[in-house]
Structure 1
Amino acid sequence: MELPELVRRRRVRRSFDAGAPVPRAVLRELVDLATRAPSAGASQGWDFLVLDGEDVGRYWAATADPSRPADRWLRGMRTAPALVLAWSREAAYRERYALPDKASGSHAPAGLDARWPVPYWHVDVGMAVALLLLAAEHHGLGACPFAVPTARVDAVRTAFGVPADRTPVMVVALGTPAGHPDDELGDVGDGEPGLPAGAAPRRPSRRRPLDDVAHLGCFGRPLA
């Protein structure tokens, strides 16, 4: 499949065939391709925690909120047979840019904080995840990126032995796309995440037109 078609075909999938595991060899290739992403100073301050089998259930147990029943989104996501947790490490960039080739010259401000107007350790992990999503599409897999709940980050670190200096940037659920388990049972569920039971679903978001996001020479001039 050509890259433009691959990019345009990619969609977020929120339910999977729980009985169709993702082969380890495929998971390894997805992560290998993700690590081919560019990173500032080739710092590569990323780690990928791959979970399959029983470890997937351990993730959902670590992030569960016992005070809230699982909503439709969560019931669908729990069918994913594999998860990839992408972590960033800021120190990798501080260490890299303290080396002589990066710590000198007019391009390197004296103050370390001034060198990082944006947290590129997170940006770079985002680029790596984008490659992983395209690789998943190439393999015919569904994928959905989402975040570790803020209140449960420490629980996830403890459950999987993640060092304290790693920050969870994104989780990617992976698997063979399938219908939502609620639909198979004839149950309409309780709507979208965050909506009260019985509330009308939000209108699906639409991709912003290219002329709204691409500017030629100055803002407001479409890229014709």
Structure 2
Amino acid sequence: MELSEVIRRRRMVRNYDPDRPVPAELVEKLLGYAVHAPSAGFSQGWEFLLLDTRADVERFWTATTPEDNLPSGWLDGMTRAPVVVVPLSHRDAYLDRYAQPDKGWTDRDEARWPVPYWHIDTGMASLLVLLGAVDEGLGACFFGITPDRIPAFRAEFGVPEAYTPIGAMTVGYRAVDKRSPSLKRGRRESPSVTHRGQWGNRSDS
């Protein structure tokens, strides 16, 4: 599939066919795309927790679903996904990398960073998984783990404190789902978000 078509078709899929497993080789292919993402200093401070058995997927939802969660069609559809991938960023990989001789920030001061690139780079790696899923005829959805459930997630899967789950991705074959009400807002086109030469000089002005 052409890249332009992959980008055009990309959307968050929130309902999956529970009777159609994703071949292991496809999952590995998606994770192979992820490691081609850019990273500051080629730090590559990302890890991925792959949950591709029914038991592990159920453990994930048990650990991450808020106890006061109300019945939800969104949750029903999402829990049918046969695969969950949790991308985790590793800040220390960046602080260590930039303390090396060719970078020279030997104090490892996090304040030197204008934004936390460890999160940004892991997010870009996640986007490659989402785009790769479209190219392979799969559906995928990126979503957050609520802060109050992160300790339970860490405990359930033995994730060290040094690694931060920036979200999670469901992957599977798409089933019929409803259009997100949020899409009623409409997509902002590039001229309305582009400022040419000076803030406020929009292309659509």
SS at match of 1:26: helix
Which residue does 1:34 correspond to in 2? Answer: 34
Q: How far, CA to CA, are the matches of 1:84 and 1:68 in structure 2?
A: 22
Alignment of 1:27-176 (within 5 A): 27-53=27-53, 54-103=55-104, 112-176=109-173
What letter corresponds to residue 213 of structure 1 in structure 2? V
Structure 1 residue runs without a partner (length 5+) = 184-191, 193-200
SS at match of 1:174: strand
**Contact residue 192 and residue 203 of structure 2 kept, 8 A:** no
SS at match of 1:100: coil
Which residue does 1:197 correspond to in 2? Answer: none
**Contact residue 109 and residue 115 of structure 1 kept, 8 A:** no
Which residue does 1:16 correspond to in 2? Answer: 16
**Larger Cα Rg: Structure 1 or Structure 2?**
1
Structure 2 residue runs without a partner (length 5+) = none
When residues 161 and 111 of structure 1 are mapped into structure 2, their CA distance, relative to the original with a 3 A threshold, is: closer
**Contact residue 96 and residue 108 of structure 2 kept, 8 A:** no
When residues 116 and 58 of structure 1 are mapped into structure 2, their CA distance, relative to the original with a 3 A threshold, is: same
1:204 aligns with 2:198: no
**Contact residue 100 and residue 106 of structure 2 kept, 8 A:** no
1:216 aligns with 2:196: yes
**Contact residue 17 and residue 80 of structure 2 kept, 8 A:** yes
Q: How far, CA to CA, are the matches of 1:149 and 1:23 in structure 2?
A: 29
TM-score of the superposed pair, with normalisation by structure 2: 0.91
**Contact residue 38 and residue 124 of structure 2 kept, 8 A:** yes
Q: How far, CA to CA, are the matches of 2:107 and 2:90 in structure 1?
A: 22
When residues 98 and 7 of structure 1 are mapped into structure 2, their CA distance, relative to the original with a 3 A threshold, is: same
Q: How far, CA to CA, are the matches of 2:47 and 2:11 in structure 1?
A: 24
Identity %: 45
SS at match of 1:164: coil
What letter corresponds to residue 212 of structure 1 in structure 2? S
Alignment length, in residue pairs? 202
**Contact residue 45 and residue 90 of structure 1 kept, 8 A:** yes
When residues 93 and 152 of structure 1 are mapped into structure 2, their CA distance, relative to the original with a 3 A threshold, is: same
TM-score of the superposed pair, with normalisation by structure 1: 0.84
When residues 202 and 168 of structure 1 are mapped into structure 2, their CA distance, relative to the original with a 3 A threshold, is: closer
When residues 27 and 222 of structure 1 are mapped into structure 2, their CA distance, relative to the original with a 3 A threshold, is: same
